């Protein structure tokens, strides 16, 4: 199984190492040709403006959009959430976000919180993270911290506003690898790809 990692800017190396810890091969994606054969795609943390410019100049906007519509499992972390939310490059998940909504680096932090994936609290590293401000009916909420939604799933897309790749064994990494495995095993039963209806979702 090979999972691609958008490698134009950001936390690519840590995502590669994180996949290796789970015995999964990661492949850096910089150009459309790198997308051939990948079974999942990770959009890493980084600066979303820089990434958006580079995605567009590298010709990745359309081919990645096509793969998302075909149901390729995609995991966006931090800046990756911004790219997949309403108004982002791919606008594939029915959520709205505010970039860097918690303020400067002194407000970045590590918290331990439960989720629908784990009864025991797991570490979540937030670094100048975006804030999810609304979510549509089809969006499944996986984790909340102090009333803010921080992890969601819609169809074949997983979003975390924090960084599971910076933690040794995060249930969120395992969840995404399971999504990729499930689709590779039974491509016909792929969950519907994420998409945004016309009306914005409920405020969360």
Over its C-alpha atoms, the chain yields an Rg (Å, rounded) of: 15
Tell me whether residue 165 is one of the annotated catalytic residues.
yes
Give me the catalytic one of 15, 163, 175, 196: 163
Asked about 15 being catalytic, the answer comes back as: no
Binding to another protein (CB under 8 A) within 13-72 occurs at 13-14, 30, 45-47, 49-50, 53-54, 57-58
- Of 3, 43, 93, 163, the residue at the interface with another protein (CB under 8 A) is 163
- Distance, CA of 24 to CA of 179 (rounded, Å): 13
3-state secondary structure of 67: helix
Query: Is the CB of residue 182 less than 8 Å from the CB of residue 40?
Result: no
For another protein, give the closer residue by CB, 103 or 185.
Answer: 103
Cβ-based nearer residue to another protein, 105 or 120: 105
Question: What is d(CA 10, CA 16) in angstroms, rounded to the nearest whole number?
Answer: 12
Give the nearest distance from C-beta 135 to another protein in angstroms: 22
Separation between Cα atoms, residue 16 and residue 3, nearest integer Å: 9
Triad 182, 44, 79: Cα angle to 5°: 115
Task: Compare residues 9 and 92 and give the one whose CB is closer to another protein.
Answer: 9
Task: Tell whether residue 9 is a contact of another protein (CB under 8 A).
Answer: yes
Q: What token pair was written down for 109?
A: 């932090």
Pick from 37, 87, 106, 146: which binds another protein (CB under 8 A)?
Answer: 106
List residues with catalytic annotation: 78, 163, 165
């Amino acid at each position: 199984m090979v999972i691609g990692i958008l490698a134009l800017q950001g936390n690519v190396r840590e995502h590669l190492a994180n996949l290796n810890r789970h015995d999964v091969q990661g492949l850096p994606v910089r150009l459309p040709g790198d997308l051939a054969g990948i079974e999942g795609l990770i959009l890493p943390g980084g600066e979303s403006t820089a990434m958006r410019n580079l995605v567009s100049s590298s010709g990745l906007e359309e081919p990645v959009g096509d793969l998302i519509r075909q149901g390729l499992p995609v995991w966006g972390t931090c800046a990756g959430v911004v790219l997949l939310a309403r108004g982002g490059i791919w606008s594939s998940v029915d959520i709205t976000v505010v970039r860097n909504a918690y303020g400067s680096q002194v407000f970045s932090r590590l918290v331990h919180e439960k989720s629908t994936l784990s009864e025991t609290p797991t570490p979540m590293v937030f670094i100048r993270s975006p804030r999810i401000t609304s979510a549509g009916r089809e969006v499944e909420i996986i984790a909340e911290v102090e009333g803010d939604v921080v992890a969601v799933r819609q169809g074949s897309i997983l979003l975390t506003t924090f960084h599971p790749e910076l933690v040794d064994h995060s249930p969120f990494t395992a969840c995404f690898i399971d999504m990729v495995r499930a689709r590779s095993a039974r491509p016909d039963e792929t969950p519907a790809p994420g998409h945004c209806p016309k009306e914005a979702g409920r405020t969360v």
